[in-house]
């Protein structure tokens, strides 16, 4: 019985996401950022992650020049020598990398959706489509 309830709960969350559930302010900010800036932010976060992991394993004593940029990404100052601060920063940087990846994927889906809608309108709303029904085929869309 628990499995069925879990499936129903999962189905509800999927349908609410498909119906355009409201986004949080943070997620909306990622979606409004350009893909180039998202890639830069992701690369910087990955560099900071590598440096923090080096500090975590004892291979490095501090982040060095990346400290200020990492604090800017994490949006709060942290101490590399404090384990709790370091773990919070690591978690936040992983979150940034994931959000950048998801935002880039969503933007790609939105671009594809816009292209498909435009192509459909061009195909079926054009004067050629109303004059000759045979002209309304996908093959003729790209031959113009």
pLDDT in tens, 103-120: 999 999 988 998 888 888
* Rounded average pLDDT over 83-99: 92
Under the banding of pLDDT at 50, 70 and 90, the label for residue 17 is very low
Q: What is the CA radius of gyration of the chain?
A: 23
* Rounded average pLDDT over 54-67: 82
DSSP-derived letter for residue 21 is P
* Rounded average pLDDT over 35-57: 91
First-last CA distance in the chain:
57
């Amino acid at each position: 019985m628990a499995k069925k309830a879990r499936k129903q709960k999962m189905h509800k969350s999927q349908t609410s996401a498909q119906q355009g559930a409201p986004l949080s302010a943070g997620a909306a900010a990622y979606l409004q950022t350009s893909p180039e800036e998202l890639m830069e932010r992701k690369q910087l976060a990955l560099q900071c992650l590598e440096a923090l992991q080096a500090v975590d394993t004892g291979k490095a004593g501090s982040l060095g020049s990346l400290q200020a940029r990492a604090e800017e990404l994490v949006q709060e100052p942290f101490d590399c020598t404090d384990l709790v601060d370091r773990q919070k920063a690591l978690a936040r940087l992983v979150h940034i990398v994931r959000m950048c990846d998801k935002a880039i994927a969503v933007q790609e889906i939105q671009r594809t959706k816009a292209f498909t809608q435009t192509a459909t309108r061009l195909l079926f709303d054009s004067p050629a489509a109303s004059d000759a029904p045979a002209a309304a085929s996908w093959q003729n869309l790209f031959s113009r």
